[in-house]
Structure 1
Amino acid sequence: MVTLEEFEAFAARQRAVRHFTGREVPDELVERLLRAATRAPSARNAQPWRFVVVRERETKRRLGELFDELGRQFYGAGAPDRTPWEEVPVLIAVCSARDVFGSGEAGAAALGASIYPAVQNLLLAAQAAGLGAVLTTRWKAREEEVRALLGLPGDAAVHAIIPLGWPDRAYGRNRRRPVREVAFRERWGEAW
């Protein structure tokens, strides 16, 4: 059992890592991370997540090209610097069937509420293993191209692509606003 103090210290070190060494990440370790991801809760215990593990250099390069084009479009010169995706050891695409909970807002909400806990488990497991990772969604603006690159069937959606590898350096604690700046009591604007 992990204590709350241990978890708080662990969570304070979770970072978005975008720079990696070229060291390989073994399939056995990736499988352990995916197993941790699948331990997340999901609406109706539907477990809608599916994972595409991408190691092929050309596919990573083409996904990275899309990501960079959108970065220039959205952020100009302000897009975060990163290791080129073709040099990242692993990309993990977190996917699902589009209509697992039905269409409409309620279905989309249940799907997101099911997928993103699995993504967070994956990110935390990567950190526990000494790996770095970052959640990306910028490419959603061109999801159809991403779906084609990943060979997804017509009823599948992509929710996140996670570059994963050994960090290029030691990262310190994350910087977050104090709870008193982001939490309210009973009503928005009421001081915590």
Structure 2
Amino acid sequence: MDLKLKNKLVLVTGSTAGIGKATAEAFLAEGAEVIVNGRTEEKVQSVVDELSRHGNIHGIAADLSDPEESRALVEKTAEIGELDVLVNNMGFFEVKDFTEVTDEEWLNYFEVNVLSAVRLCRAFLPAMLKRDKGRILNLASEAGIKPLPQMIPYSMTKTALISLSRGLAEMTKGTNVTVNSVLPGPTWTEGVANYMEGAAA
């Protein structure tokens, strides 16, 4: 299937493992030029080395929960080219009793899972609108619609991403820029495997 992605520049955040890495690989298979992102140079370079055989790939290390590092990523992306597709995939989850989650942990969830996407949408959307073309995909979760009692902070952030996507989609009506949220169900990733191993132990 030709998804008309050949030579399109795509940024996938949180793409050194799991759904993000698989997404980056899928875009490469469609002929897109892909930027992968993670928090450490070592992990990013490892994925670049692994996936380079599939196509044109770049790596930018940045912790997107940090505003300064987010700005640096935006600047480095501009040096590569005009962004056609933004995939906000970065996020984390933890299984923890609701009453044990501290204010600091709630704020960290919001910084990592929500504000990272807000910052990049705010940075890249104006240029997409000016060119009248572009795609933004925000990785939410089915937990954003049916919150998980053992993962309430995570679920809350995914509900926020759905709302962000819907609001931006309404804002881009009548243009050739689209904004969508993707709501995966349980997916076997490294993070889930680590959790299962810990629970079994």
TM-score range with shorter-chain normalisation? under 0.3
TM-score, normalised on structure 1? 0.27
Query: Larger C-alpha radius of gyration, 1 or 2?
Result: 1
